Amino acid sequence: MITLYHYLVLSCILFAIGVAGVLLRRNILIVLMSLELVFNSVNISLAAFSHFLQSMAGKVFVVFTITVAAAEVAVGLAILVVIFRQKKTVYVEDLSEMRH
């Protein structure tokens, strides 16, 4: 029998993997993908709560999150393409213009 805790543990593991990817990977594409993992871990926990608590609110939130995440990825990837054309690199440590 799969209970709520199974879903939450899965969500936690995915979240941890996502955060680790954001913090540790050098390639900015991978960083973005890891961010998506974080999003989806949250979506899983929302959907699970919604199912087990018999409430529609969680499912509605999931749909919203997916929509916003799609838009965010579109913008993020567009910026990434421009940065790559300018700097010919995708490594995070080379992108420190904001400091100056």
Partner 1 sequence: MSIWLLLLIPLIATTTITLITRRHKDLSSYISIGAVVLCFIISIKPILYFLRNPHAEPLEQSFTWLNIPGLYVEIGTLLDPLSVLMLFIVTFVGSLIHIYSRGYMHGDPGYSRFFACLSLFIFAMLGIVLANNFIQMFIFWELVGLASYLLIGYYFEKPSAADAAKKAFLVNRVGDFGFILGIFVIFYATGTFNFLAIEKQIEAGNVGDWTLLLAALLIFCGVVGKSAQFPLHVWLPDAMEGPTPVSALIHAATMVAAGVYLLARTAFLYHAAPPEAAMVVAYIGGFTALLAATIALAQSDIKRVIAYSTLASLGYMVMAMGVGGVSAGMLYLTTHAFFKALLFLAAGSVIHALHTNDIWKMGGLYRKMKITGSTFGIGALAMIGVFPFSGFFAKDEILVATLASGNYVLFIGGIITAFLIAIFMSKLVFVTFFGEERYEGHPHESPPVMTVPLIILAFFAAVSGFVALPGLEPNFSTYIDGHVEGGEGGHFVAILSTLVVLAGILVAWLIYQRGFVRAEVIANHCHPLYRVLENRFYIDDFYDRVIVERIYNGIGRAFNFTEIHIIIGFFVNGSAFITREIGKALRLLTTGRLQEYALLMVGGVVILLFFFIFG
Footprint of partner 1 (CB under 8 A): 19, 22-24, 31, 92-93, 95-100
Q: Which is nearer to partner 1, 85 or 99 (CB)?
A: 99
Q: Which is nearer to partner 1, 20 or 63 (CB)?
A: 20
**Cβ at position 27, least distance to partner 1 in Å:** 12
In the complex, least distance from residue 96 CB atom to partner 1, rounded to whole angstroms: 3
Phi-psi region of 53 (alpha: psi -120 to 50; beta: other; left: phi over 0): alpha
Q: Which positions ≥6 away from 40 have C-beta within 8 Å? A: 14
User: What is the rounded distance in angstroms from the CA atom of residue 57 to the CA atom of residue 11?
Assistant: 18
